[in-house]
């Protein structure tokens, strides 16, 4: 069986604080978040931009979070004000949020893995 695996990386800049955190991360601060999204499928699909089944998922669709907050992304926002209730602003929960939102945007059956890094030496991976 054929399998396609694609990966895209992007960054976005946002501020956050971790609610009730007893330490520096409890104060508002910012990061350049580095995000890696992996998409895996055993078949190709059309997208918003092409009616032909020629891709696992559109790279533009996978990079939605890099858009400015005014365009539905996460760039240049205070994450505490943008993430819905139930998502804290830890790297773990940001990865889950990006996963959950991306999953809604890709064709059914596409498997995802999301990696989020706040610093060059700290990252989290999330997949279901």
For residue 79, the domain's CATH number is: 3.30.479.10
Domain of residue 121, residue span: 4-127
Q: What is the pLDDT of residues 8-33, one digit of tens each?
A: 999 999 999 999 999 999 999 999 99
Phi and psi of 98, rounded to 5°? -65, -40
The pLDDT tens digits of the residues spanning 33-63 come to 999 999 999 999 999 899 999 999 999 999 9
- Reported as a single tens digit per residue, the pLDDT across 71-86 is 999 999 999 999 999 9
For 64-72, what is the mean pLDDT? 98
Q: Are strands 111-119 and 29-41 parallel, antiparallel or unpaired?
A: antiparallel
67: DSSP letter: S
- How many separate domains does the chain show? 1
The pLDDT of residue 4 is 97
For residue 1, pLDDT over 90 is answered with no
Instruction: Decide: pTM greater than 0.75.
Output: yes
Q: Where residue 97 falls among pLDDT bands split at 50, 70, 90?
A: very high
Cβ neighbours of residue 91 closer than 8 Å, sequence gap 6 or more: 116, 117, 118, 122, 123, 124
């Amino acid at each position: 069986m054929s399998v396609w695996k694609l990966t895209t990386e992007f960054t976005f800049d946002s501020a956050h604080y971790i609610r009730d955190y007893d330490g520096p991360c409890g104060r508002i601060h910012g990061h350049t978040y580095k995000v890696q999204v992996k998409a895996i499928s055993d078949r190709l699909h059309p997208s918003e931009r092409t009616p032909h089944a020629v891709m696992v998922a559109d790279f533009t669709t996978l990079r939605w979070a890099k858009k400015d907050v005014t365009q539905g992304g996460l760039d240049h926002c205070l994450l505490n004000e943008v993430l819905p209730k139930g998502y804290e602003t830890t790297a773990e929960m940001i990865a889950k949020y990006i996963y959950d939102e991306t999953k809604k945007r890709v064709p059914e059956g596409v498997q995802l893995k999301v990696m989020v890094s706040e610093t060059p030496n700290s990252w989290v991976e999330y997949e279901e």
